[in-house]
Amino acid sequence: MSDGTAVRSFPVIIEPLLAELSGEGKNGIAVPSPFDAALCNGISAHTRMPELPELSEVETVRHFTRLSRLNFGIETGMYPLGSCTMKYNPKVSEEIARTIAAVHPGDETGRASVLEWLVSLKGILEEICGMDECCLWPAAGAHGELTGMLVIKQAIMKKKERRTKVLIPDTAHGTNPASCSIAGFVTVNIPSGPDGFLRAADLKDHLDKDVAALMITNPNTLGIFEQEILEIARVLHENGSYLYMDGANLNAVMGIVRPGDIGVDCMHINLHKTFGSPHGGGGPGSGPVLVKKDLAPFLPVPRIERNGSGHLVLQDDFPDSIGMIHSTYGNVAVLLKAYVFCLSLGPQGLKEASIRACLNANYLKSRLSTLFDLPYTTPTMHEFVLSDKKQKSSGVTTIDMAKALMEYGFHPPTVYFPLVVQGSIMIEPTESEPMSELKRFVGAMEDIAKKAAAAPDDLRTSPRGMPVKRVDEVWAARNLILTWKDLNPSE
Amino acid sequence: MSFLPTSPEDLKDLLSVIGIEDVEQLFSAIPKEARHKGPLKVEGPLDELTLRRRFQVIPLRVVFLGGGVYHHFIPAVVDSTASRQEFLTAYTPYQPEISQGTLQAMFEFQSMMAALTGMDASNASMYDGATALAEAAIMATRIKDIKRIVISRSTNPVYRFVLKTYFRNNHEVELVEVPFDPTTGKVNAGALEKLVDGSVAFFLQQPNYFGVIEDMGRVSRIAAKAGFWGVVVGEAASLGLLQPPGSFGCDVVVGEAQSFGNPANAGGPLLGFFCTKKEHIRRIPGRIVGLTRDSAGNRAFCLTLSTREQHIRREKATSNICTNEGLCALRATIYLSALGPRGLRDVAVQCAAGTRTLMSALEKKGIKPVFTGEVFNEFVIPMDTDTLKNLQGSGIACGIPIGPNYPEMKDAVLLTMTEMNTNEDIRCLTELL
């Protein structure tokens, strides 16, 4: 193991459940009681105390600290999850986001400066994407997709048209079809071309007056830029259909291509990917939607508007709007983190981030494509897809190699997606990785390739040095133990 | 600051391994006409100190604001443990062996939310209360042959707006609102009785948007005739005091749990939750963590029932949600662990007792609540916009005007008390009235 020396950073901890640590009468955290509890006597309160475990403060802290040590974060090491853009999350963004913690959304004084920042962020995102208007409120990428498709639906209805179909290439993101369904569309899966990008000529075969939009991911999930995008936009527009772009892979093209300049009518972006806000183990994210002028009237409310006296206010009287999509106005703290990220980098830094992301990915592809099958030789950008074709003959599959990577101190890549490649391994290093980490990753992959040939059984039983061994996901689905009560039904 | 770690020397190495001379060659597959010319018009780069100086906010001094987002005490242990990078910077736990921390914490979140709501199961979070309600309504239409979604008009207006947005292209289902009793502020039981039948999915907020505690015994006897019914909880702190909504036999309890360890953050992120009876578990939206075992037979956790989800079921998925509010759910889990049953009960009791203290103080000034119904920690009073603006000028946010959403109560505000408010706050307000 030359460069790929294992980093055994995982402790062996079997941490009990909170319920198992609970003991009656342990000190919880005290809450001041200035008001007379007897005043509540009129309420028909529950006779029993809330069903929660009782722990001392030190046990709570230790429990969660120990759990955290069973996790892998971007600060632990490289996290090459394809299409997830796991880049460094700047500390300054976290620090600044905390400044709004105590602002209530109904506090017009406190939120005044927050709205100013949001307007500036909106402007930056519109500039990066080359789009005319932006709604910041969607709370995640899929929420953005839904919002964008509702906007398109509304525009179609306004034109008194009846277009029900949305075309989705097989290299698009997995959430797209479900978002379209909720927005009231029927989706049609269309195959991408032999080189991993959609041909305008093939698209034409699927176009008719019932097509509302094409929902394309660009660069797509193979990391390939949609080379015929200009022609695709042209034939779509000629057909009266919209071009929706899933901007989850925007990290490849900041300052290089602006979606608005290549005919995109509507798109969403993922601030928790491209703009460096942390993913939090599954959110909170943020998925702003950007549109061209003609779709702007349909964007959600509220909208931030400047009133007569120059103050920013939230307004919701826009009759063409699809309505509200969130309880307040989005994941404001996440928006602020993205804003700080953009200001930190500046125009050149944003472009440089995309260039380095592409450089790092192409470096890894060059180094790894001799050892692993590279199903598409088309040039790729910030990510690329390998497969397990070369290893399969010795009985080693993608999942085995993914699990083995953990033992080298890496989070596995995205696996078995996109579906166009069997046993796909989708690698996205991002711009955050230094040369040393890239080399270490190559070393680990080389080692795994060697083991796949020489000692396949080792890989098939990996990981062995993690807090748990290979986890039985089938057992979980069969037994459905979803709470403490399911574990001890008698209690 | 660009946070880029590659040295000029490394850059040369990268280019030579790739086999190109210039980074421009990386983009050779992009048509020339598609390329952006010239620099982006974006401010920056700015250094950390400049940035930190720029972002300052001064919230109002005294705040009686709620209406769906609440100021509650957050013990220091929440920030210190939830901000550990292993939690903060991790992705969704698709690979269980390397994500046991997030997974076990989510399992504990599900366990505590299910226990507090009195339901069998919970998912690992939703975006917010409004989308949790909307997704519950969608789920109802997929389980039963639902023709109408009936919702109490005293449910948070923004929740109803979001529900409307989610259903705007579903022409098979009608949205109907049940009026509230103008005296008590509770749902109008007579009107409800007329609306509910087997083809109806019924939702009601408890305590309702006006803070009024609904008579769940009575409501549930009517709601039992609905094809599906759910309780919406807008203020999770109420779960510390009131009888769990699930004990009244509803199909789902959904809502907003920002109150558990998450700051107001000018409006977000919030923390939607989704709890259900076990019979519906295969139909619910979002991530679910299950307990399982590893190949050595030890206890382990993983995401489960993913065959419901968008990445496998594609357009037939129960929902499109994937990224949710994981870190907010983790914060709630730490918060509930830190407070324990007595802490949570104390919070709820102080909210309710403080509210009553504020009510009597206002009544001494001749200001009586609009509704007679018993409340939890919010209530509506008559107040015109000028008074509200004047108070704001003195640093007091005296509630949310509800007139825009309830035209029949043009000059009325919704006041909220939590354990964060003090007797001094009450004095500040009443002195100015």
Q: Would you give per-residue pLDDT tens digits along chain B (433 residues)?
A: 789 999 999 999 999 999 999 999 999 999 999 999 989 999 999 999 999 999 999 888 899 999 999 999 999 999 999 999 999 999 999 999 999 999 999 999 999 999 999 999 999 999 999 999 999 999 999 999 999 999 999 999 999 999 999 999 988 999 999 999 999 999 999 999 999 999 999 999 999 999 999 999 999 999 999 999 999 999 999 999 999 999 999 999 999 999 999 999 999 999 999 999 999 999 999 999 999 999 999 999 999 998 777 677 777 788 889 889 999 999 999 999 999 999 999 999 999 999 999 999 999 999 999 999 999 999 999 999 999 999 999 999 999 999 999 999 999 999 999 999 999 999 999 999 9
Sheet with B400-401: list strands edge to edge: B378-382, B412-416, B400-401
Nearest to B56 among A32, A99, A227 (CB): A99
Query: Are residues B43 and B182 located together in one domain of the fold?
Result: no
Residue B1 in domain:
no
Domain end point (choices B335, B368, B396): B335
Range of the domain at B39: 8-48
Which chain B residues are closer than 8 Å to A125 by Cβ? none
pLDDT tens figures, A315-328: 999 999 999 999 99
Contacts of A178 (CB under 8 A, 6+ apart): A142, B310, B313, B314, B315, B317, B319, B320
pLDDT tens figures, B193-242: 999 999 999 999 999 999 999 999 999 999 999 999 999 999 999 999 99
Residue B122 in domain:
yes
Query: Are residues B369 and B386 located together in one domain of the fold?
Result: yes
Average pLDDT, chain A: 94
Q: How far does Cα A191 stand from its chain's mean position? A: 24
Nearest to A103 among B43, B59, B121 (CB): B59
Q: Say if the Cβ atoms of A43 and B320 lie within 8 Å.
A: no
What's the confidence (pLDDT) of residue B310? 67
Work out the minimum CA distance from A444 to partner chain B, whole angstroms.
17
Q: What is the ipTM of this complex?
A: 0.97
Q: How far apart are CA B244 and CA B241, in angstroms?
A: 9
Query: Are residues B271 and B304 located together in one domain of the fold?
Result: yes
Nearest to B300 among A102, A180, A468 (CB): A468
What's the confidence (pLDDT) of residue B307? 77
Q: Say if the Cβ atoms of B356 and A46 lie within 8 Å.
A: no
Q: Say if the Cβ atoms of B269 and A52 lie within 8 Å.
A: no
Query: Are residues B314 and B396 located together in one domain of the fold?
Result: no
Q: How far apart are CA A343 and CA A340, in angstroms?
A: 5
Query: Are residues B114 and B175 located together in one domain of the fold?
Result: yes
Which chain B residues are closer than 8 Å to A102 by Cβ? 59, 71, 263-264
Which chain B residues are closer than 8 Å to A100 by Cβ? 57, 265-266
Work out the minimum CA distance from A365 to partner chain B, whole angstroms.
8
Work out the pLDDT band at A8, boundaries 50, 70, 90. Answer: low
Query: Are residues B278 and B368 located together in one domain of the fold?
Result: no
Domain with residue B378: its CATH number is 3.90.1150.10
Can you read off the two tokens belonging to residue B375? 């409340």
Q: Say if the Cβ atoms of A282 and B323 lie within 8 Å.
A: yes
Which chain B residues are closer than 8 Å to A61 by Cβ? 77, 80-81
Helix (H) or strand (E) holding B255: strand B252-256
Q: Say if the Cβ atoms of B266 and A111 lie within 8 Å.
A: yes
Burial class (CB in 10 A: 0-12, 13-18, 19+), B194: exposed
Query: Are residues B109 and B166 located together in one domain of the fold?
Result: yes
Number of A to B CB contacts under 8 A, please give it: 684
What's the confidence (pLDDT) of residue A44? 81
- The residues pairing with B348 across neighbouring beta strands, listed in sequence order, are none
Domain end point (choices B302, B335, B368): B335
Instruction: Name which residue leads in pLDDT, B1 or A224.
Output: A224
pTM score of the predicted model: 0.97
Which chain A residues are closer than 8 Å to B155 by Cβ? none
Q: How far apart are CA A271 and CA A141, in angstroms?
A: 8
Q: Say if the Cβ atoms of B104 and A17 lie within 8 Å.
A: yes
Nearest to B60 among A107, A153, A487 (CB): A107
Q: How far apart are CA A109 and CA A105, in angstroms?
A: 10
Residue B55 in domain:
no
Q: What is the mean pLDDT of residues A28-36?
A: 88
pLDDT tops 60 at residue A7: no
pLDDT tops 50 at residue A2: no
Query: Could you tell me if A50 and B341 are in contact, meaning their C-beta atoms sit under 8 angstroms apart?
Result: yes
Query: Could you tell me if B209 and B156 are in contact, meaning their C-beta atoms sit under 8 angstroms apart?
Result: yes
What's the confidence (pLDDT) of residue B149? 98
Nearest to A472 among B98, B294, B328 (CB): B294
Which chain B residues are closer than 8 Å to A226 by Cβ? none
Residue B216 in domain:
yes
Q: Which residues of chain A form CATH 3.90.1150.10?
A: 348-464
Nearest to A227 among B2, B31, B90 (CB): B31
Which of A327, A411, A431 to substitute to test the interface with B, most B CBs within 10 Å?
A327
Work out the minimum CA distance from B378 to partner chain A, whole angstroms.
13
Query: Are residues B67 and B80 located together in one domain of the fold?
Result: no
Residue B56 in domain:
no
Q: What is the mean pLDDT of residues A116-141?
A: 98
Query: Are residues B357 and B398 located together in one domain of the fold?
Result: yes
Domain end point (choices B316, B335, B354): B335
Which chain B residues are closer than 8 Å to A330 by Cβ? 267-268
Query: Are residues B110 and B185 located together in one domain of the fold?
Result: yes
What's the confidence (pLDDT) of residue A4? 47
Q: What is the count of structural domains for chain B?
A: 3
Q: Which residues of chain A form CATH 3.40.640.10?
A: 92-342
Domain with residue B321: its CATH number is 3.40.640.10
Angle subtended at Cα A49 by Cα B261 and Cα B232, rounded to the nearest 5 degrees: 55
Which chain B residues are closer than 8 Å to A55 by Cβ? 337-338, 340
- Give the CATH number of domain A92-342: 3.40.640.10
Query: Are residues B359 and B307 located together in one domain of the fold?
Result: no
Query: Are residues B286 and B414 located together in one domain of the fold?
Result: no
Angle subtended at Cα B309 by Cα B305 and Cα B310, rounded to the nearest 5 degrees: 165
Residue B53 in domain:
no
Nearest to A440, CA basis, from A480, A472, A407? A407
Q: Say if the Cβ atoms of A471 and B292 lie within 8 Å.
A: yes
Residue B2 in domain:
no
What is the CATH architecture assignment of A348-464? Alpha-Beta Complex (3.90)
